[in-house]
Amino acid sequence: MSDVDGREVVKVWEVRNRFGLDFLELAERSIDPPGAGEVRVALRAASLNYRDLMMIRGQYDPRIPLPFVPASDGVGEVTEIGAGVSRVHVGDRVACIFSPTWISGDPEREYIRQGLGGRRDGTLARAINVPAEGLVHVPEHLSDVEAASLPCAAVTAWTALTRLASLTAGDILLVQGTGGVSIFALQFARLLGARVIATSSSDDKRKRLSELGAWATINYRVDPVWGKTALELTGGRGVDQVIEVGGAQTLSQSLKAIRPGGTISLIGVLSGSSGELGLTQILMRQIRVQGVVVGNRTDFENMNRAIAAHELRPLVDRVFPFEEVPKALDYLKSGAHFGKVCIRIA
Ligand SMILES: NC(=O)c1ccc[n+]([C@@H]2O[C@H](COP(=O)([O-])OP(=O)(O)OC[C@H]3O[C@@H](n4cnc5c(N)ncnc54)[C@H](OP(=O)(O)O)[C@@H]3O)[C@@H](O)[C@H]2O)c1
């Protein structure tokens, strides 16, 4: 469909007048032809991340101008290219990278502010214009939905394990919970030859973690001192790395579990973002607390090569149709999922 000026009209989900899941609306927007260096992607699938919930509620970036289209993760087909684009071609299947200007190296402040689904409109849309530099080709063996699960959660897990630490065969990784980031971290750690201790609040999910290759699992609700339990599981040596998604209420247990010289990859703050922390143990045991913010395009491409080489399949828990985005967000909020919650757009 086109508007009176001949611009394509596309359906998008947008946070229009005020923050909150109840104020997410299905709307129509006219989009300009792609500018120089840009391409139009007809989106086929998207995936949701905890960040999207926070962004919609106004908890992630309360000063973001409204309206905006949420979500960072999307896969689709290039349908139109702007002047000067040679990186991709019409018909290519591509995924958006989290921050379309972050190509390699450490993040600059601006890259983080420019993540899709915030100050830049995101992927809960039937089509989007994005810089061609901010796209990657996706592994062929993956379905659209599987490929759409990669840009935020998988790249974060990959970056944490590889570029920002060096998890290797025989190492022990501890992952917290069974959300998108932690399940990808488990899968990548197995692929790298490491052992995984995984925590969950659910015994049913623990069974599934074992089926996925977890070496040991702990119910963090039943065992509040799970860090000590993890330490014992390693024979007192400690784990080499922790994927820290809990934050304030889990970090003290992670510090119990980690070996001297190990890395705590600080990724999420699901249980809060501030609290008391014993600094002496970090100092005396030479522990590295490494902040992680997704990853750059090079990380995404390196990860895709590993996924293709091992024909790894992302763990997609449920797929909702585009019209049911609010239901999908409610499901993500419930925490009932195991792996990724995805949206089929086309
Ligand atoms: N820094 C970055 O670049 C980056 C990138 C992606 C995500 N994140 C952050 O990482 C966190 C996880 O993201 P996600 O997308 O993987 O979330 P998600 O898919 O919504 O995962 C939620 C799961 O985490 C587990 N969980 C919740 N509270 C927990 C706690 N106190 N202790 C241990 N596990 C807990 C639960 O697993 P069980 O049901 O098994 O208990 C829950 O199902 C979020 O805070 C998100 O904002 C950061």
The tens digit of pLDDT for each residue in 298-310 reads 999 999 999 999 9
Q: What is the mean pLDDT of residues 170-179?
A: 98
Q: State residue 334's pLDDT score.
A: 97
- The answer to whether 8-150+314-344 and 165-291 have equal CATH topology is no
Ligand 1 centroid vs 6 CA: distance in angstroms?
A: 43
Is residue 277 predicted with pLDDT exceeding 90? no
Q: Which residue has the higher pLDDT, 256 or 110?
A: 256
Residue 78: which pLDDT band, with cuts at 50, 70 and 90? very high
- Does the 8-150+314-344 domain belong in CATH 3.90.180.10? yes
Structure-token pair, residue 167 = 């998890």
In this predicted structure, what is the pLDDT of residue 30? Answer: 95
Query: 93 C-alpha to center of ligand 1: Å?
Result: 29
Q: Does the C-beta of 135 come closer than 6 Å to ligand 1? A: no
Alpha helices in 132-202 (DSSP H): 144-148, 155-161, 180-191
Provide the whole-model pTM. Answer: 0.98
| Residues across the chain | 346
Give phi and psi for 42, each to the nearest 5: -85, 110
Choosing from 48, 49, 273, 337 the residue with most ligand 1 atoms within 8 A of its CB, the one to mutate for a pocket test is: 49
72/111 Cα distance (integer angstroms):
13
Q: Is pLDDT of 113 > 90?
A: no
Q: What is the pLDDT of residues 251-264, one digit of tens each?
A: 999 999 999 999 99
Minimal CA–CA distance to 190: which of 163, 206, 170?
170
Q: Give pLDDT, residue 4.
A: 86
Residue bearing the CA closest to ligand 1, atom 36: 177
Question: Which residues, at least 6 apart from 149, have a Cβ–Cβ distance to it below 8 Å?
Answer: 47, 73, 180, 314, 316, 339, 340, 342
pLDDT in tens, 47-68: 999 999 999 999 999 999 999 9
Architecture of the CATH domain 165-291:
3-Layer(aba) Sandwich (3.40)
Domain range list for the chain: 8-150+314-344, 165-291
Pocket test for ligand 1, best of 182, 201, 245 (most atoms within 8 A of CB): 245
Q: Burial of 281 by CB count in 10 Å (0-12 exposed, 13-18 middle, 19+ buried)? A: middle
